[in-house]
């Protein structure tokens, strides 16, 4: 009887465990479904209706071109894997930027891009403070007030890295084309319309290397010296 009681008790525990696991999975599925269903045209429009004008304009432009965002938070909208971009983000809070003309940075586009040498990174920093390189993730991004401006910045950054343009030449070309985009007086360069370099490789991140063993050795050596 003792053995039978143990078997029944064990079976009950297993059934409860399986049941709980199933319930959690179902809950996760339901939560995901609710989140997706909550992102609709009406809810997103209501969400951004009180955003600053530049941010709302960028959001409306993205929705018109790519559809509804994948993620919506209080401060941003996120699209993933759209066109040549790994990610695009529209920010509620604008960042003031004076180059090449005064504007607000409200939208950022990310592409897969292997981080170059340190001297090239410094050149990109001089070209524009709104172009970023993430060595660990293997990404380059550009932040401005429109997708066209970001495409232009990414293309020019790529040309600087490849040695095809100097920093001054890139800054001047960027400025000229932004003016054309703004006043519509002339047709801007094709560099504002499409990326001219490959962004297909998502395996270009650099995880670096650990130095934990070195730190341990130095710690041991320091302790030995103290003794």
Q: Where are the domains of the chain?
A: 1-38, 52-210
What's the pLDDT tens digit per position in 16-43?
444 455 455 554 444 444 455 678 989 9
Task: Tell me: pLDDT of 191 over 80.
Answer: yes
Distance, in Å, from the CA atom of 150 to the CA atom of 157, rounded to the nearest integer, reads: 10
The Cα–Cα gap between 68 and 64 comes to 8
Q: Determine the 3-state secondary structure of 1 from DSSP.
A: coil
The 10s digit of each residue's pLDDT in 91-109 is 999 999 999 999 999 999 9
Q: Are the CB atoms for 49 and 64 separated by under 8 Å?
A: no
**Local structure of 99: helix, strand or coil:** coil
Distance CA 216, CA 219 (A): 5
Q: What is the 8-class DSSP label of residue 195? A: -
Give the whole-angstrom CA distance, residue 174 versus residue 190. Answer: 12
Q: How confident is the model at residue 121, as a pLDDT? A: 97
């Amino acid at each position: 009887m003792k053995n039978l009681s143990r078997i029944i008790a064990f079976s009950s525990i297993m059934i409860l465990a399986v049941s709980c696991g199933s319930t959690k999975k179902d809950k996760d599925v339901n939560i995901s479904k609710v989140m997706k269903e909550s992102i609709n045209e009406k809810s997103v429009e209501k969400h951004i209706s009180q955003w600053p004008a530049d941010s709302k304009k960028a959001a409306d432009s993205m929705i018109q071109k790519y559809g509804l965002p994948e993620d919506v938070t209080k401060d941003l909208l996120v699209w993933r894997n759209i066109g040549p971009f790994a990610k695009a983000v529209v920010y509620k809070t604008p960042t003031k930027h004076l180059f090449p003309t005064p504007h607000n940075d409200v939208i950022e586009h990310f592409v897969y891009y292997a981080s170059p040498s340190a001297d090239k990174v410094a050149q990109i920093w001089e070209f524009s403070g709104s172009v970023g390189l993430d060595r660990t993730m293997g990404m380059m991004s550009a932040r401005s007030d429109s997708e066209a401006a970001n495409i232009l910045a990414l293309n020019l950054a790529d040309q600087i890295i490849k040695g095809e343009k100097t920093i001054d030449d890139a800054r001047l070309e960027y400025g000229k084309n932004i003016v054309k985009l703004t006043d519509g007086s002339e047709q801007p360069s094709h560099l504002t319309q499409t990326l001219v370099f490959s962004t297909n490789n998502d395996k270009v991140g650099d995880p670096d290397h650990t130095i934990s063993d070195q730190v341990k050795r130095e710690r041991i050596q320091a302790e030995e010296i103290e003794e």
